[in-house]
């Protein structure tokens, strides 16, 4: 006679983050721990202070830059399993930014996948998302409402190009706010189709662009904005969102400001943030992609984190899935 024991969940939510007891490691912990597995290099996922980091090989240079070169990093290539305690672990492409990963955990025949941040849209600056069949899927839900549907990057890149040229004709600069890691490089890659005029970069963006180039990602020609002074006209300048309202931007006046973000899908956000122009470009899954992905993983249980958790879980339940919100400390991402 065998008794069926209810399984202890492979991953639990602790004050320090997602924890796997069977392997004794944390995934994207929000404070220093002994062993940390990192899905990607954005600062709300990759934090300082852990003794040992397991990361993907392509994210190494970026994570080193952000967390310091003297940390201990075990790098892994996509799809190659390694063992931590009782758990077989592997990284799989998430399509979010260069080096981003979903993390697959297998223990006693049960498979869990932690999606990290991911998208399904075309993005040649990183490996495309891979569907990893699993029993339990932990999905993000940053844009988990049906009003969030993305246009193609080509369409939005063309809109950026046109905006830039229009401002150029009027003797103005165009400063585009976009996240320094991932978003900027995606825009710089997509712009190649429309022009070969160089794009100017804020220092913070420049450093990360260099790291992408080192890994062979083809990007449009760029120059340091710092080398340009007052009187600069007709340039497209990429900068992190915070820089636009800072003193730094002043020397590039007159300029129009734009913001590349999924939140720009909504007019009210554009107005509140007082950008002249919004471009709907996101490195997160839109509503159709979230639904599609959940279905394709074949997961029996879905945990929803990071965004519209209540809304997405309720909808999935109504669609016949078994889903519930996973409360974590991740805040809503304003720059996504």
Partner 1 sequence: MKRLVALFEAIDTTTSTKNKVTHLAEYFRAAPPADAIWTLYYFLGRKQKRLVKRKMIQEAVQELSGLPDWLFEESYSAVGDLAETIALLTETIGPKALSDVPLHIWVQDRLPSLSKLPDEAQKDRLKQWWRELSTEEVFILTKLLTGGFRSGVSERLVIRGLVEAFQWDEAVLSEKLIGDWPITDEWFLTLGSAQREGLSLYPYPFFLASPTDDDPGLLGDISEFAVEWKWDGIRSQIVKREGQVAIWSRGEELISQSFPELIAMAGTLPDGTVLDGEILAYEGDTARAFANLQKRLQRKKVSDKMVKDNPVVFFGFDCLQWAGLDLRDQTLKQRRETLDKAVREFAHPTLRASHLIHCQTWADLFELRKESRSRQVEGLMLKRWNSVYQMGRKKGDWWKWKIDPMTLDAVMLYAQAGHGKRANLYTDYTFGLWKDQTLVPFAKAYSGLSNEEINKLDAWIRKHTLERFGPVRSVMPLKVFEIAFEGIALSPRHKAGIAVRFPRILRERLDKKPEDADSLASAMELLNAPTVQS
Please compute, for residue 47, the number of CA atoms within 13 A of its CA located in the half-sphere on the CB side.
Answer: 15
Give residues in contact with partner 1 (CB under 8 A). 145-147, 149, 265-268, 271-272, 274, 276-277, 287-288, 308, 311, 314-315, 318
User: SS3 of 293, please?
Assistant: helix
Q: Rank residues 216 and 268 by Cβ distance to partner 1 and give the closer one.
A: 268
Q: How far is the CB of 268 from partner 1 (least distance, A)?
A: 5
Q: Rank residues 70 and 318 by Cβ distance to partner 1 and give the closer one.
A: 318
Q: Rank residues 85 and 234 by Cβ distance to partner 1 and give the closer one.
A: 234
Whether omega for the bond prior to residue 167 falls within 30 degrees of 0, making it cis, is: no
Concatenated DSSP letters of 191-222: HTTT----EEE-HHHHHHHHHHHHTT-----E
Q: Rank residues 36 and 316 by Cβ distance to partner 1 and give the closer one.
A: 316
Q: Rank residues 61 and 167 by Cβ distance to partner 1 and give the closer one.
A: 167
Q: How far is the CB of 193 from partner 1 (least distance, A)?
A: 22
Do 219 and 208 contact (CB within 8 A), yes or no?
A: no
Q: How far is the CB of 151 from partner 1 (least distance, A)?
A: 9
Separation of first and last alpha carbons in the chain? 53
Q: Rank residues 219 and 264 by Cβ distance to partner 1 and give the closer one.
A: 264
Angle between helices 183-191 and 203-214 (to 10 degrees): 70
Q: How far is the CB of 266 from partner 1 (least distance, A)?
A: 5
Please list, in sequence order, all residues whose beta carbon lies within 8 angstroms of the beta carbon of residue 283, skipping any fewer than 6 positions away. Answer: 96, 97, 117, 119, 123, 179, 182, 183, 186, 336
Burial (CB < 10 A; 0-12, 13-18, 19+), residue 69, is exposed
Q: How far is the CB of 287 from partner 1 (least distance, A)?
A: 8
Q: How far is the CB of 331 from partner 1 (least distance, A)?
A: 12
């Amino acid at each position: 006679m065998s008794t069926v024991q209810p399984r202890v969940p492979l991953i639990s939510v602790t004050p320090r983050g997602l924890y796997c007891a069977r392997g004794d490691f944390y995934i994207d912990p929000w404070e220093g721990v002994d062993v940390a597995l990192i899905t990607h290099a954005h600062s709300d996922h990759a934090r300082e202070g852990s003794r040992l980091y397991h990361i993907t090989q392509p994210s190494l240079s970026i994570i080193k830059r952000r967390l310091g070169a003297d940390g201990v990093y075990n790098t892994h290539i996509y799809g190659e399993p390694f063992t931590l305690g009782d758990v077989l672990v592997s990284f799989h492409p998430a399509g979010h930014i260069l080096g981003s990963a979903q993390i697959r955990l297998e223990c006693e025949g049960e498979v869990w996948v932690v999606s990290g941040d991911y998208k399904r849209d075309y993005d040649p600056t990183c490996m495309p998302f891979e569907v990893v069949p699993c029993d339990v899927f932990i999905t993000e839900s940053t844009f988990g409402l049906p009003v969030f549907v993305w246009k193609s990057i080509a369409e939005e890149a063309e809109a950026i190009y046109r905006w830039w040229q229009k401002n150029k004709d009027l003797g103005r600069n165009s400063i585009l706010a976009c996240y320094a890691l991932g978003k900027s490089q995606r825009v710089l890659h997509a712009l190649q189709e429309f022009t070969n005029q160089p794009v100017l970069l804020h220092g913070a963006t420049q450093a990360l662009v260099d790291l992408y180039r080192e890994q062979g990602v083809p990007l449009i020609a760029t120059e340091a904005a710092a080398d340009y002074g007052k009187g600069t006209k007709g340039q497209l300048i990429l900068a992190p969102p915070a820089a636009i309202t800072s003193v730094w931007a002043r020397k590039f006046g007159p300029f129009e400001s734009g913001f590349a973000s999924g939140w720009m899908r909504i007019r009210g956000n554009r107005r509140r943030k007082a950008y002249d122009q919004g471009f709907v470009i996101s490195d997160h899954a839109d509503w159709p992609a979230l639904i599609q992905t959940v279905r394709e993983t074949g997961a029996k249980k879905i945990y929803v984190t990071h965004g519209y958790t209540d809304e997405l879980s309720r909808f999935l339940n109504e669609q016949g899935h078994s889903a519930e919100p996973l409360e974590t400390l991740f805040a809503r991402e304003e720059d996504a």
